[in-house]
A and B are shown apart, each in its own frame.
Chain A
């Protein structure tokens, strides 16, 4: 958790250039790749960056769930990707039940989207709390691999719930005309879906940062992340704080699921597995436990993906993202910002 990190000493002497380079190696590599592709084909790459950023907002929302939970109980919530998938399913089911299509009037579409967002957020938030209660809390003091294994079990259960729930792959109603261009900047068409993803995500991100940074509950979360025992001594209900963290993570995953359904137009029961891994990569990239890092990591992974789609082909993109995951975890587990994580 970002607030848990100790501020660097003010009067520390300036690092040598080499140390500076290695401290910020991920930024340099990312910047160099981006500059190379921008130089070789400006418009295509700019378009990739745009697609990547809007797609990356979805990863950022999911990555926040990973990072919140890891920050507070140092557990990789493996089922988080599946919670996101359930969010998509809830939204699409709601739209189908209400009979909303792209032909419905604008007001009703807006209302139904708000309704679906709320429904997905509530469903996923409570689902995530329930998962914590059933699969993780009994193992709070167990060896670390025990909750990881139950998390995998949970993720398979949820995947199969998704499999039985809806046909797969299933089409989501195209409520906003996702692929229509809204306006054009520098020859890059900004699509409805891009604007939609950003418009839904930004308020959520601001809300989350405010909640964690400025409220009493957020303070309790940060305290628990720093030292659960000390937090308990200070009168913080640690179990409830952990549950609250899972609730927040689930709420964000639900919103991400809703955006994903509109953004991609298709949903399937196993979308959560890959999305979860990608978002986890983003969380690791930003330095796991670091909220702003998770957001920036999500956006960067989005850009990496869309550039890789264009230049290496879509079939290789997952392999490239996973390779990045491995490289970062092995060589730079502290992520972009060089902050020490609690465990690597």
Chain B
């Protein structure tokens, strides 16, 4: 099939190696930093695009987190949205008026301005955003381990279904946790379907005044960008670490990895914990940015949406996943609303935005059938997929992250 594909890959490779990696990274960071000003110059209504971009940042973090679980460690997690939800709810609990009775109605404040513009104390727990994201990451990491531990001996599609079931249970627990969890206690943890709103704005540590989004979007963009850069750094460092190599070994062949001395339990749990904590990190940012945390934001579709980003970009490849996340979120938040009048124009009556998940489903299907390694496959995976020639697409693929039919496994 594909001398054309090969030549494209070659020319891309030539282009990519034209400059050292560090220079490319530098260019990308500078572009990202200048981005709000660039679109200011180019567009008359830059806020629309900037708003979509900030949401994109949250999704990049999530996609990178899922990339650790699915891409590096090869554990297909269909319930990733659960961690997004937990992180967002931590933000809601620690940065809103959800618990009005705390501290005798005077509220609990830490590194946040405690007084409302009128001068009285704001009730509820209000902790500085930068501490909350750390708390959210830690809390979701614990949940990653709790939810991951029972699934350790499952593989492949069974693992996928169990994680999917977790992803369905968590939102339902939040939805019904209006009088304590499972009726224990009587505190309202979630405000039911309405959700927690408003959420505290991000408050820079050196300033007394919270950021003023949605009126001013640039500062919150830079906060998000900083978080994304930290996430990318973490991802790359982990990939190249001892742990990262262990993940890839587990993905390729669990039994071989275990016999080489890789501790399967610790390796897999680390993947769940770190992946989950990035989800929580992103969830807290997203919750604060959209100013509300409610269960409807955490449906199964979001798990698939994020998975779609990872698959589209190329499982296991950091830059591919980032490209996938940017493409899909931008299409979803920015492009599809603009296409809303297209069906009308050809005589059909529906909103393009309402069928966005159908479009992503189609994308997932087409990608998986035609180009399963993603738009930008990781070098390693490209070698696996096209070992001797290009036609060795799927048939000869070694059993990456796959269920294996070993008889030795003890099911019962």
With A145-B160, A145-B401, A315-B176 as contacts: A333 and B411 at CB distance below 8 Å: yes
A sample of 10 inter-chain contacts (CB < 8 A) reads A138-B369, A142-B372, A148-B157, A156-B360, A280-B161, A316-B176, A330-B154, A334-B411, A341-B411, A344-B158
Residue of A nearest to B343 (CB): A164
B400 touches A143 (CB 8 A): yes
B369 touches A135 (CB 8 A): yes
Of B173, B369, B403, B409, which contacts A144 at CB under 8 A? Answer: B403
| B196 CB, nearest partner CB in chain A, Å | 19
Asked whether any CB of chain B lies closer than 8 Å to the CB of A319, the reply is: yes
A153 touches B368 (CB 8 A): yes
Per-position 1/0 for A325-344, Cβ under 8 A of B: 11001101110000011111
A330 touches B360 (CB 8 A): no
Asked whether any CB of chain A lies closer than 8 Å to the CB of B151, the reply is: yes
Give CA–CA (A89, B397) in the complex, Å: 40
Residues of A within 8 A of B169 (CB): 319, 322-323, 326
Asked whether any CB of chain A lies closer than 8 Å to the CB of B241, the reply is: no
Give CA–CA (A150, B411) in the complex, Å: 27
Asked whether any CB of chain A lies closer than 8 Å to the CB of B362, the reply is: yes
Of B166, B173, B357, B402, which contacts A145 at CB under 8 A? Answer: B402
Asked whether any CB of chain A lies closer than 8 Å to the CB of B412, the reply is: yes
Binding site for B on A (CB under 8 A): 75-76, 134-135, 138-139, 141-150, 152-157, 159-161, 163-164, 273, 277, 280, 315-316, 318-319, 322-323, 325-326, 329-330, 332-334, 340-344
A143 touches B402 (CB 8 A): yes
A152 touches B168 (CB 8 A): no
| B106 CB, nearest partner CB in chain A, Å | 34
Chain B interface bracket (under 10, 10 to 19, 20 to 34, 35 or more): 35 or more
Residues of B within 8 A of A163 (CB): 354-355, 358
Give CA–CA (A277, B372) in the complex, Å: 26
Residue of A nearest to B308 (CB): A153
Of B166, B358, B394, B399, which contacts A161 at CB under 8 A? Answer: B358
Of B158, B176, B403, which contacts A333 at CB under 8 A? Answer: B158
| A328 CB, nearest partner CB in chain B, Å | 10
| A327 CB, nearest partner CB in chain B, Å | 9
Asked whether any CB of chain A lies closer than 8 Å to the CB of B405, the reply is: yes
Residues of A within 8 A of B360 (CB): 153, 156
Give CA–CA (A326, B160) in the complex, Å: 11
Given contacts A153-B368, A343-B403, 15 further A-B contacts (CB under 8 A): A135-B369, A141-B395, A143-B394, A143-B401, A146-B394, A149-B307, A149-B311, A152-B361, A157-B361, A315-B175, A318-B168, A318-B172, A322-B166, A330-B151, A344-B154
Of A146, A160, A319, A343, which contacts B173 at CB under 8 A? Answer: A319
Give CA–CA (A152, B363) in the complex, Å: 11
Give CA–CA (A100, B364) in the complex, Å: 40
Give CA–CA (A277, B300) in the complex, Å: 12
| A226 CB, nearest partner CB in chain B, Å | 14
Per-position 1/0 for B144-164, Cβ under 8 A of A: 000000110110111011101
Residue of B nearest to A152 (CB): B304
With A146-B368, A316-B176 as contacts: A330 and B402 at CB distance below 8 Å: no
| A322 CB, nearest partner CB in chain B, Å | 4
Residues of B within 8 A of A144 (CB): 156-157, 402-403
Of A135, A141, A159, A316, which contacts B394 at CB under 8 A? Answer: A141
Of A145, A164, A318, A343, which contacts B350 at CB under 8 A? Answer: A164
Per-position 1/0 for B284-300, Cβ under 8 A of A: 00000000000000001
Asked whether any CB of chain A lies closer than 8 Å to the CB of B225, the reply is: no
